[in-house]
Amino acid sequence: MLKYDGSDWQGKWHNNGNRQFAGWNMNKGDQFIAGDFDQDGRDEILAIAQNGWAKLLKYDGSDWQGKWIRWWQTIHLAYENDIYIGLILW
């Protein structure tokens, strides 16, 4: 993960190429959506697998933490004009 400081990019986090992200094993077809899901003013990442598993990931300033993980029977991502606007889980 890189952060732009106004004049250059700074390295903030990496996983050494192990395909894991706060305990999430990244696979082809996974979707990652950034948004302020816990309404604390800072974005989290929602990881969604094709098999119905989803995990909310939060960066604490030095590493990523898993906030919750759950299997959903159905996951629908809502888009309007190619912009993500919501998530329906059941």
- Tens digit of each residue's pLDDT (9 = 90 or more) over 49-81: 888 888 888 988 888 888 887 776 666 666 666
**Mean pLDDT on 35-42:** 84
Instruction: Identify the CA nearest to 44 among candidates 32, 29, 53.
Output: 32
Per-domain residue ranges of the chain:
22-89
| Per-residue pLDDT at 80 | 64
pTM over 0.85: no
Q: Alpha-carbon dihedral of residues 42, 23, 79, 37, nearest 10 degrees?
A: -30
Q: Which is more confident, 38 or 88?
A: 38
